Amino acid sequence: MTGFRIGAMLFLLSLLQTSLLPLLSLPLARPDLLLILTVFVALASKPEKAIITGFIAGLGQDAFSMALSGVSSFAKSLLGYFGANVRHSFIVSNLSVQLVVVGLGTLLNGFVVYWMGKAFGSRATEVGALFHFSGVVLPELVSNLIFACLLLPMLRRILPFEEQDTY
């Protein structure tokens, strides 16, 4: 898995997420395609690539959103780190495992974004934790899982798994 391919997928998915997905009237929340890519890179590659992918994906999201700057890049970097640690414990080439990690990653991302926003006084966190998780994170979780079923097999063809380091 080369950095060029990861960069090309980052560019393509961020373009889709910022230009095409807002035009679709989806019944749930919009999926976080860059989160799905970060999870895939974390499961298929080395931790350094996953953390860098998450950081760059988060920076891109921070640049196009009105949210607190740096929160998405921090959350996605954490996701890259924790996802890479899952790689050593499970058979990550299995789609079911990948979907579980996408689901847990969505919850982690929502948790970090909310509490970092709360800590730094973001207006988006004035709604309360219960509403944020039931009205924002859970619909995004369902949407991410649906889109991950479509996106993960395509990513597997474009970005093949690297050999796993042994400890």
Domain membership flag for residue 149: yes
With beta carbons less than 8 A apart as the criterion, state whether 30 and 17 touch.
Answer: yes
With beta carbons less than 8 A apart as the criterion, state whether 85 and 47 touch.
Answer: yes
- Residue 124's CATH number: 1.10.1760
Domain membership flag for residue 166: no
DSSP state of 42: H
Domain membership flag for residue 163: no
Q: For residues 1-11, b (16+ Cβ closer than 10 Å) or e, as one string? A: beeeebeebbe
Q: What pLDDT score was predicted for residue 54?
A: 93
pLDDT in tens, the chain (167 residues): 688 999 999 999 999 988 888 887 777 788 999 999 999 999 998 889 999 999 999 998 888 777 778 888 999 999 999 988 888 788 888 899 999 999 999 999 999 988 888 888 766 666 788 887 888 899 999 999 999 999 999 999 998 887 766 55
Domain membership flag for residue 136: yes
Q: What pLDDT score was predicted for residue 148?
A: 95
Domain membership flag for residue 164: no
User: Could you please report the per-residue DSSP string of 130-158?
Assistant: HHHIIIIIHHHHHHHHHHHHHHHHHHHHH
Domain count, the chain: 1
**Measured distance CA(103)–CA(97) in Å, rounded:** 10
